[in-house]
Structure formats: structure tokens, C-alpha cells
Structure 1
């Protein structure tokens, strides 16, 4: 594995010079309103890249990329000042964790081409976003949308099971039957 940054860079010939979305399959987002649509609107408004953020318990922040942010007055998004990949507990600039939804400006490709491998000897997308957050000019600037809905990390076995059970139990076709079976199973 060469890292998420390398995977994004491999898409450059297919994306061209347009903003594009990256959705990581191990982040299951259950939403009433489209997070991705909101992120695309923010990208069009700001011209930068947009990342999805969630609030996590400070004790869990070391499992995530973490954002240092500034509030943008009158807007429903924040400006990302800097990013730290998996900071130690107590060293994180906030409890806002980066989750697997990105709307990226194509300027990220040039940054990724010049990004040296970082943590785990991988090309980290976080490092490229950090460069864009600190830069000026076309495509620079990184913004965040704080997601308030339900999210499951399907890379974590327990979270995956919770997602399957929760979402299946809400299905009209078999939700009640599943709940009945679960009650019998746990008793």
C-alpha cells in the first residue's frame, strides 16, 4: 500500500481539471440530508477543497486525522488551518476528526506529486491537504463540514456489526422480524 494520497493521485488522468469527490468505503454515512451535496456547495462557494469532520471523544482522536479550525462567520462550514494525522491524546488541536468524505480541488494532484512519503512510508492525503490549507492561490484553502448524523466505521468490527444491525432493523421489509429474532437470541 502506498497510501491514500497515492490512490488519489492515480485518479488524476481520469479527473482532469475539475473538483472531484473521494468517498472511503469503510465510512458508512447514514444521513437525512446529503453530506456530499453540502460539501460540493461549499467547494463551489470557496473554490478550495472540502473535508468532512465529526466530533469525537478526545480519548479517541488518536485514531483519526484531526483538524485545527477557524469559524467562518455566517456560514455552516469552517476553515481548516492545519491537519494532524493521528495525534497523541492531549496533543490534538481539537476533537474534530476527519472522516472519509472529501471534495478536492484538482490542485491537490500537483501537491501530491511533490509530497514525500510520510507516516508508514505512505503518501498521505493529509499531508497534501495540510499544504493546501497553508497555501494561497488557485485551489488552495481547505474547509470542513461538521457532520452531525450517524456514521459507522466499518473497518472496526464492532462498528460494522452495529451498522448492519441498526440499519437492517430499520428496514420496512424485515426490521420487525429481525428485532423479534434479536430479542429471542439475547434472552
Structure 2
């Protein structure tokens, strides 16, 4: 793609939210894990807010059984709004949950066959446009948000992009890691390969793949004929690896923090970290933490 050819904007984002959330049972027996609150917003709301900040217009939720609460969260709650208005309460707190008509689409992943399969399920809605992917389990906190940083990089280099973070080298065996090529800037690096959970001695870098992607629509055709990979599932990482060398592929080092809200400890960490940044809560939360730590001493 030449520097003078305008790149298609990133207007669509896919949110794979069909997972069972078994690590949070029994809390997720009847409530999707994406609806578990970090302070006063469900996890999915943070990802949607990040998408909107980046200029994304259409939200595509890949859902499964028992996930209707996610869609309802972004619907209009007439009874709730009427009651709040009658009681003289403003509705501004609900503004982030309002989606323009037609801008929320759901598709079904009937069988859990992996992240790559979940993305492929959205192929008809994505069409021939580049698109973003958000893994809501990974909360990315920064200003600007992770996806906005990635969209800005996309306008510079085009092609496919993934977000990465630096971790201590001894931790790389727990993550997918990139093999870096030429450095475009301090935060933008060419990707020459992807390695899933390498041994520390074999890791090509300490840049781990985090849960944000911008991919070209050709990835859908790659996923179409892809066999099962690790865990007997269709892996998105395998499809991306096949596209390296065929299209530009870069990593954006996110200037911010990542919280692994797919784990219980990560969820607690995110809750505490965000609470400590809120003026209405920070002092009380610090006092509570000191009291609890003193009680454990």
C-alpha cells in the first residue's frame, strides 16, 4: 500500500465474548464474566469505551449461550430511566451504555472452537474492511487508550498490528511473544514471527502479545482453511503468523498498563488500581488497604 493511497478507516471491532468464564465460577454461572464489575462498570464497558475513543463505530459481539446480558447492557432500559427521572436523578451515568441504532451486531459461536474460530464467525459483518479485535479480559488502561494508539500507528504503516508490552524476560514463557524486526519508532516495531509460550532461553524478545489487534480482512480467508492448533482449537495466532511476509505486520508497544482480568488476582488488582485513581474513593480505599495489611501483620 503506497504512502499516497488513503487507508480504509478502522470502523468495526470484534469482541469475542462467547467464553464460559469457568475460572470465576460460581459467579459466572448465570452472569457473563464480561459483566462482572470493576468498581461500577462491567468489564465489557471498559473495552467498548476504548473502542469508541479510537473512532470505532460498529461493535460486533461474538456471543454464545447465556450471554444476552451483555447485549441488554447496551440497550435502552425504559423502566429504569423513567424511574430515575421521576426521582430527579440525571441519566448521564447511562450515557456510555447507549449505542447508536444499528451499530451493535451480534453473531453466534455455537461451538467453542477457539479464538480464531470466534473471529471467523464475524466474517460476514466484517466484510472487506480492516477491523479491530478486543479481548475484554485484558483491561488496557492508558491515555490515550491502547486502540487509539494503535489506530494512529495504523495510519502510519497500514497492514496488521498487534499491541505488545514489555515484561521481565523470566516471565515470557507464560505469553505469546513476537520476533522483532526493524524498529520504525520507539513504540512501533516490525514483526517477523510469533512464538507461543517460548522457553526463556529461546524467546526472541520480551515483548508479549496483549489483547488488542488491527487485522486486514484477508485473515478471514486464512482462518477459513486453517486446521486446529494448540488445545485442539483454531488459533488466531496461527492465522496471523501465516500472514507475516504477505502483508505489513507491526507491533505497537502500549504506553499504559495491562490488567489480566481473566484471573481472579488480576481482577482484584484492576479494581484496586482504578479505585486508587478515583477522587471519590482513593482516600477511603487506601485507609482500608492499610487497615487490612496491618491486621495481617
TM-score by length of 1: 0.91
Asked if residue 179 in structure 1 is aligned to residue 286 in structure 2, the reply is yes
Query: Measured at CA, do residues 104 and 73 of structure 1 come closer, stay the same or move farther in structure 2, by a change above 3 Å?
Result: closer
Deviation of residue 73 (structure 1)? 4.0
After TM superposition, the structure 1 stretch with the greater mean CA deviation from structure 2, 126-135 or 36-45, is: 36-45
Q: Find the aligned partners of 1:39 and 1:97 in 2 and give their Cα distance.
A: 16
Secondary structure in 2 aligned to 1:90?
Answer: helix
Residues 163-178 of structure 1 mapped to structure 2, 5 A cutoff = 163-178=270-285
The equivalent residue for 2:226 is 115
Deviation of residue 141 (structure 1)? 2.3
Q: Find the aligned partners of 1:58 and 1:185 in 2 and give their Cα distance.
A: 33
The equivalent residue for 1:24 is 135
The equivalent residue for 1:45 is 156
Q: Find the aligned partners of 2:239 and 2:213 in 1 and give their Cα distance.
A: 13
After TM superposition, the structure 1 stretch with the greater mean CA deviation from structure 2, 29-38 or 102-111, is: 29-38
Superposed CA deviations along residues 119-144 of structure 1, whole A, max 9, x for unmatched, are 11111111111111132xxxx22111
Deviation of residue 81 (structure 1)? 0.3
1:106 alignment partner, one of 214, 217, 232: 217
Q: Find the aligned partners of 1:46 and 1:73 in 2 and give their Cα distance.
A: 9
Q: Say which one has the larger Rg.
A: 2
Unaligned runs of 5+ in 1: none
Higher RCO (CA < 8 A, seq sep 6+): 1
Residues 64-75 of structure 1 mapped to structure 2, 5 A cutoff = 64-74=175-185
Paired residues, what number? 183
Check whether the contact 2:113–2:234 (CA below 8 A) recurs between aligned residues.
yes
Secondary structure in 2 aligned to 1:134?
Answer: coil
Deviation of residue 75 (structure 1)? 6.8
- Aligned-residue Cα RMSD (Å) equals 1.5
Check whether the contact 1:67–1:93 (CA below 8 A) recurs between aligned residues.
yes
TM-score by length of 2: 0.59
Q: Find the aligned partners of 1:49 and 1:109 in 2 and give their Cα distance.
A: 13
Q: Find the aligned partners of 2:244 and 2:184 in 1 and give their Cα distance.
A: 18
Asked if residue 159 in structure 1 is aligned to residue 255 in structure 2, the reply is no
Deviation of residue 34 (structure 1)? 2.4
Secondary structure in 2 aligned to 1:143?
Answer: strand
Asked if residue 143 in structure 1 is aligned to residue 250 in structure 2, the reply is yes
Check whether the contact 2:146–2:256 (CA below 8 A) recurs between aligned residues.
no
